Amino acid sequence: MTTQIIRSEWTKIRSVASTVWTLSLALVVTVALGMLVSALTRHGFENMREQDRLSFDPTYISFAGMGLGQLAMIVFGVLVVTNEYSTGMIRTSLAAVPQRGVFLASKVAVATALALVVGMVTSFLAFFLGQALLGSLGTSLGEEGVLRAVIGGGLYMALIAMFSMGIAAMLRSPMLSLGILMPFFFLISGILGAVPATKKFGQFLPDQAGSRIMQVVIPAGDDTPYGPWGGLGIMALWVIAALAGGYLLLRKRDA
């Protein structure tokens, strides 16, 4: 029964053009912007301040497109969950799979597997192409912390998609979900993380904490109270909370 449900969810995802396009866009945008920033960085490295040179992180530079890439992952996560609500197919799906926990878990599992594959491919491509454009400024996977950062980039993208699925399961509306997630990640989180008065709170937000995994060189004076894996762990807790909230509301509400 579970295998059939997973196959059904796989069919739903790949048959909707918008979900396929958003995953493709996540890869292209992340890699392309990472290449552009890497090339510009190599060209302007000599003009950097001494402090910036000392904290230069070639691995993190190649992930410069991750911000826009996560935008596509957010849209993917939202669409995976809300497409059925928008079309009214959710009633048919829940009639076929009355165990709502199984239904949501299967949907999240299939979508997460796809997001993880795309995230890993994107992360490794962004790294290798970015390092090629950085030339002598670049690094390699064999250097300490680099492989962790590259794998972490793929995990980060998958967790962003999962978090978005949890929020979408709670809100059920694509417009409302995106209307909350977009400002949260691209405005509110950045402000809270940059303003001294709120920085201690902002650094525990999912994207702020999770992106730590992609850093190899820690700038001088950085007082973040957790390391790369600790940051990813904090992000994972946000994901668990979002999915738990989505499941609880799915179980209690009518379709």
CA 177 – CA 249 distance, rounded (Å): 15
Q: What percent of the chain has pLDDT over 90?
A: 64
> Mean pLDDT, to the nearest integer, of 211-225?
87
CA 96 – CA 102 distance, rounded (Å): 11
Provide the pLDDT for residue 254.
Answer: 66
Structure-model confidence comparison of residues 8 and 147, the more confident one: 147
Q: Quickly state the pLDDT bin for 93 (edges 50, 70, 90).
A: confident
How many Cα atoms sit within 13 Å of 67 on the Cβ side?
Answer: 13
Question: Is the pLDDT confidence value at 255 over 60?
Answer: no
Provide the pLDDT for residue 86.
Answer: 81
Contact criterion met (CB below 8 Å) for 120 and 150: no
* Residue closest to 193 by CA, chosen among 206, 208, 182, 180: 208
Provide the pLDDT for residue 1.
Answer: 52
* Residue closest to 241 by CA, chosen among 139, 147, 165: 165
Longest dimension (CA), the chain: 64
The predicted-structure confidence for 180-216, as pLDDT tens digits, reads as follows: 999 999 888 988 888 888 888 899 999 999 999 999 9
Question: Is the pLDDT confidence value at 218 over 90?
Answer: no
Which residue type is seen at 195? Answer: V
Q: Count the Cβ atoms, other than its own, within 10 Å of residue 103.
A: 20
The predicted-structure confidence for 22-57, as pLDDT tens digits, reads as follows: 999 999 999 999 999 999 998 887 777 777 777 889
> Mean pLDDT, to the nearest integer, of 62-86?
92
The predicted-structure confidence for 122-165, as pLDDT tens digits, reads as follows: 999 999 999 999 998 999 999 999 999 999 999 999 999 999 99
Contact criterion met (CB below 8 Å) for 157 and 232: no
Provide the pLDDT for residue 119.
Answer: 97
Provide the pLDDT for residue 223.
Answer: 82
DSSP string, 64-96: TTHHHHHHHHHHHHHHHHHHHHHHTTHHHHHHH
Looking at every residue in the chain, the average pLDDT score rounds to 90
* Residue closest to 224 by CA, chosen among 239, 210, 238, 241: 210
Tokens for 13, please give them.
């995802």
Write down the H helix ranges in 88-214: 90-96, 100-134, 146-171, 174-183, 189-194, 199-202, 206-210
Rg of the chain, C-alpha, whole Å: 19
